[in-house]
Amino acid sequence: MPKFITIGEPMAVMASQDVDVSLEKATHFKKYLAGAEFNVAIGINRLGHSVSYISKVGADTLGRFIIDSAQEAGLDTRNLICDEKFMTGVYLKQCVSTGDPVTSYFRKNSAASNLKIDEIDLSDLADVQMAHLSGIFPALSDTTLDSFRAFNDKLQENKVFTVFDPNLRPALWKNKKEMVNALNHLAKNSQIVLPGINEGEILVGSRDPETIADFYLNQSNLTESVVVKLGADGAFVKTKNATAYTIPGFKANQVVDTVGAGDGFAVGLESALLEGKTLEVAVYRACAIGALAVQSTGDSEGYPDREQLIQFYKSHNYQGDL
């Protein structure tokens, strides 16, 4: 069994190639892999770690594209299920010269949103060291919320270290109150929580990084550390023993596409922790891969392999532990 596991919805993204043209008027698109948790799985695997990915896709062209891509990347796909009854999710993404692109999703009643816990083989989690959990999958449907909770319970039973990224998608929830209550409750069951500063304003009611961190540290005995993503400014870290510090961000030479930067941050943090690095070193790597992510089109195309990460560090005169 791989050392790292995650569950989520893989998607295809049709990325516009027409710069600063609305999705309604764009006519040139390129197909990429997408899905927050799938992005993380690809990124962790690219850095040399064995990864198990759990999901369901439709028996359609996009589903085959995702399965083939996952297998070619070397992911463990024993729990990547193909279901003829449902379609694979897809979304369109605008190409912009500055700022965040407009996106348009087509995922309602997708195959992944119908993934039930009894379809997943969780008989052997003994070798799994870490799990990445996101707030997107439980937001897809009542079915996935139940599956997510059962999966998390199984992880806890097997003492798997978990990292939870709230990854807000308000459009997937019935209302803001339900979203806030559900995500904050789910966060209680992870050792590390990764809110963004904008997410903290919604989930906690504050943009102060320490206030956000204190909320998650105080609401759960299990949560050991909170890492608040600050975008280009880096990240604020606070641990259960009250140690607090800020890690500066790495400068991106150019910002091409911001989608996938947060998932890249998770890739950096979790891959370093899998290698036994300290949390501080892990957050440096998280900031580095977040900066690399925004310099490429596609959701995960900017995530580095080991040599590319080393070269990025050298180009930014980073002298710390790799």
Per-residue CA distances from 271 to 106, 201, 319 (Å): 31, 28, 19
Rounded Cα–Cα distance for residues 69 and 291 (Å): 24
- Beta strand pairing status for 103-106 and 90-95? antiparallel
Q: What sign does the CA torsion over 192, 139, 159, 3 have?
A: negative
- Tokens representing 270 are 């979790």
Per residue, the 3-state secondary structure of 159-187, as one string, reads: CCEEEEECCCCHHHCCCHHHHHHHHHHHH
Q: Is 263 a catalytic residue?
A: yes
Query: DSSP assignment, residue 81?
Result: E
The active-site residue, picked from 76, 165, 263, 299, is 263
- Tokens representing 288 are 């580095």
Of residues 195, 254, 206, 204, the one with CA closest to residue 230: 195
Per-residue CA distances from 116 to 65, 128, 211, 305 (Å): 22, 21, 36, 33
Residue with tokens 């998390």: 152
Q: How far is CA 74 from the centre of its chain?
A: 18
Task: Show which residues are catalytic.
Answer: 263
